[in-house]
Structure 1
Amino acid sequence: MREQPLILDGNAVAAAIKEKLAARIGALAERGVVPRLATILVGDDPSSATYVKMKGNACRRLGIDSVRVDLPEATTTEELVDVIRRLNDDPAVHGILLQHPVPHGIDERAAFEAIAIEKDVDGVTTLGFARNAFGFADFPSCTPAAIVSILDYYNLPIEGKHAVVIGRSPILGKPVSVMLLNRNATVTICHSKTERLPDVVGAGDIVVAAVGKPKFVQGDWIKPGAVVLDAGYNPGNVGDVDFDACLSNASAITPVPAGVGPVTIATLLKHTVDAAEKRANENRTKIEPHYKII
């Protein structure tokens, strides 16, 4: 009789990340530093508002200061960029998150590029992506980093495995592909023009679904024993994977909700703390004399 697949509990992974952060946040507090994340929400999309609220609540529970900037739907690209630049110049802000997607009419890429690299805690800038591709990003994109963290937490091997990524967005599909590649996986990226998609997915030892379509990945696409990571979230609390159908073949699988999502938020918090520590250490270096008193 076939063993039941391992359910990859994102809440457990997130809790482990937050537990390690608590001591670091306490150490910063002793130095008079409170990590601060500024979240920008443009428009009144209910899903985006919910995500921003969840992130703010997670910050407060951990002792991270959360600043929410709400902008109207009619905000122009220039106005949004101006807000981002002011946050860049605020020394009390350590991380900036622009909630995606922004309303039509705003040049999202221009807005992302306005975020200072040292505050790009969600890895959305071109420079952040490039550093991630070369394997030395301070802040890789949060959801891709969450996916790798889940694999590591459960000791699921990456090296030598064939990873199939369904989706090629610049903040999910592409960055997770390079992160897996940097961990010595062989990576295939699928997209809307991929021919014989079920056959391609069926060759994957690791399957990452990041396509934005509910229950898109079918059970008979999955190779027996494959690890399935569902990065989608669609109305009705369903992911991009037909969870029930994929259980029959997967050896391990993330649920939706309580899979990749909680780890994404925990990763965002970690990056904010990383940025705060880096800034605090830089400031201390500037203050300390560079000579020896005899």
Structure 2
Amino acid sequence: MASAIFTDCSSATKAVAMTSARLPPLSKLKDQQGAVISPRSISFRPNSRSYSLLNTVLYTTRAMASSASLSPVVMAEDSSAKIIDGKLTAKQIRDEIAIEISRMKESIGVVPGLAVILVGDRKDSATYVRNKKKACETVGIKSFEVSLPEDCSEQEVLTYISKFNDDPSVNGILVQLPLPSHMNEQNILNAVCIEKDVDGFHPLNIGRLAMRGRDPLFVPCTPKGCIELLHRYGVEIRGKRAVVIGRSNIVGMPAAMLLQREDATVTIIHSRTKNAEEITRQADIVIAAVGQANMVKGSWLKPGAVVIDVGINPVEDSSSPRGYRLVGDVCYEEACRVASAITPVPGGVGPMTIAMLLSNTLDSAKRVHNFK
């Protein structure tokens, strides 16, 4: 690896037109007062093919300091970034949930229940529902499923929601989105009892999330999964600068609120943001949830930043049997040469979303039965 070859910046600076003078070794850089400058305090704008080499040099000290706090991870091939393995972490969480459900069943004879309502025949939605049902089975949660035709009425959906609201064996209700265009999504989501809103989309839950001193009963699953990954990999959030790219109600906004609750300084980047690249480059933590393939380049990232990539976008790939492959919102190959840790796509945030849904359902059952 490059970090094992270069011990200072002098070799790289021959190819980088950043200054006419050769940089001294990192260990000898000093400020105007004579104090030694830490490598992590150095910033630069890459403008040549030596960009990745210099990034690696600057990152080396940072990575050594942070490696002890991260859980064991697989190193990305030919890169410095550590892989934040959402698939492995989700499995660990499911195992923990299964143990708790078994304990609850043995202690009070209760098994949590999750109801899923699917409207229409979208293949992606059907796949999501099938995966959620399978995940419920693996941990011992009882699943209830309702499949309605695309042209069903909004009232039919509301009737099933009301039925599940009144059913004590159902601890969580999930309406699979998106809904057909003739339905009012807000009316349907608002109809879910707040105590069973395991998706965390009820306005009262979102309102509590936004307010200091208030706690929501549930947090939206994908943002919750992002924060859980940071926690489980020992990434410090308090006092750090965080950037969330995207401001959707499902991911971006609640993710920003969760980071703020963790005492991060948070900036949200959206379609009207000016200088998005410069703002992102200041972040210690980046959560990308904009739905645009490979939007965030390596040059957007601060050396040593932690990257959580929520995006999952199909791009054409003639070498794939399916004719496409899935990529995130972050250009993975470039980011791996700059970031200290990153989630892959697929295998990063996706598995965590379902794990958090199971966790919310268990919490709901524990709450209603006062089970500790």
Which of 194, 211, 225 is matched with 2:304 structurally? 225
Residue 25 of structure 2 is matched in structure 1 by none
Which of 255, 259, 263 is matched with 1:184 structurally? 263
- Per the TM alignment, residue 19 of structure 1 is displaced from its structure 2 partner at its CA by 2.4
Give the alignment of 1:86-125 within 5 angstroms. Answer: 86-125=163-202
Residue 118 of structure 2 is matched in structure 1 by 41
Residue 87 of structure 2 is matched in structure 1 by 11
- Per the TM alignment, residue 280 of structure 1 is displaced from its structure 2 partner at its CA by 2.0
Which of 89, 103, 106 is matched with 1:27 structurally? 103
Residue 158 of structure 1 is matched in structure 2 by 237
Asked if structure 2 preserves the Cα contact closer than 8 Å seen for 1:144 and 1:176, the reply is yes
- Per the TM alignment, residue 7 of structure 1 is displaced from its structure 2 partner at its CA by 0.5
Mapped partners of 1:15, 1:80: distance in 2: 32
Residue 286 of structure 1 is matched in structure 2 by none
Mapped partners of 1:42, 1:214: distance in 2: 28
Mapped partners of 1:232, 1:99: distance in 2: 18
- Per the TM alignment, residue 76 of structure 1 is displaced from its structure 2 partner at its CA by 2.9
Asked if structure 1 preserves the Cα contact closer than 8 Å seen for 2:225 and 2:353, the reply is yes
Asked if structure 2 preserves the Cα contact closer than 8 Å seen for 1:77 and 1:110, the reply is no
Residue 364 of structure 2 is matched in structure 1 by 275
3-state SS of the aligned residue for 2:294?
coil
- Per the TM alignment, residue 190 of structure 1 is displaced from its structure 2 partner at its CA by 1.0
- Per the TM alignment, residue 196 of structure 1 is displaced from its structure 2 partner at its CA by 1.8
Residue 35 of structure 2 is matched in structure 1 by none
Q: TM-score, normalised by structure 1?
A: 0.92
Mapped partners of 1:59, 1:200: distance in 2: 40
Amino acid at match of 2:330: V
Which of 158, 163, 169 is matched with 1:81 structurally? 158
Residue 128 of structure 1 is matched in structure 2 by 205
Mapped partners of 1:105, 1:214: distance in 2: 29
3-state SS of the aligned residue for 1:38?
strand
Residue 240 of structure 1 is matched in structure 2 by 329
- Per the TM alignment, residue 277 of structure 1 is displaced from its structure 2 partner at its CA by 1.4
The answer to whether the aligner puts 1:204 opposite 2:204 as a matched pair is: no
Which of 247, 250, 254 is matched with 1:168 structurally? 247
Amino acid at match of 2:290: V
Structure 1 gap ranges (5+): 283-294
Residue 265 of structure 1 is matched in structure 2 by 354
Asked if structure 2 preserves the Cα contact closer than 8 Å seen for 1:59 and 1:66, the reply is yes
The answer to whether the aligner puts 1:69 opposite 2:146 as a matched pair is: yes
Mapped partners of 1:63, 1:275: distance in 2: 15
Structure 1 residues 214, 75: closer, same or farther in 2, change over 3 A?
farther
3-state SS of the aligned residue for 2:243?
strand
3-state SS of the aligned residue for 1:237?
strand
**Higher relative contact order (Cα pairs below 8 Å, separated by 6+ residues):** 1
- After superposing on structure 2, the runs of 4+ consecutive aligned residues of structure 1 that deviate more than 4 Å are none
Residue 321 of structure 2 is matched in structure 1 by none
Amino acid at match of 2:88: A
Deviations 1:172-227 (A, max 9, x none): 11111011001000000111111122112112111111111222212211111111
- Report sequence identity in percent: 47
- Per the TM alignment, residue 72 of structure 1 is displaced from its structure 2 partner at its CA by 1.2
3-state SS of the aligned residue for 2:370?
helix
- Per the TM alignment, residue 130 of structure 1 is displaced from its structure 2 partner at its CA by 1.3
3-state SS of the aligned residue for 2:347?
coil
Asked if structure 1 preserves the Cα contact closer than 8 Å seen for 2:86 and 2:347, the reply is yes
Asked if structure 2 preserves the Cα contact closer than 8 Å seen for 1:8 and 1:254, the reply is yes
Which structure has the greater CA radius of gyration?
A: 2
Mapped partners of 1:102, 1:232: distance in 2: 21
- Per the TM alignment, residue 38 of structure 1 is displaced from its structure 2 partner at its CA by 0.6
- Per the TM alignment, residue 36 of structure 1 is displaced from its structure 2 partner at its CA by 0.7
Residue 290 of structure 1 is matched in structure 2 by none
- Per the TM alignment, residue 78 of structure 1 is displaced from its structure 2 partner at its CA by 2.6
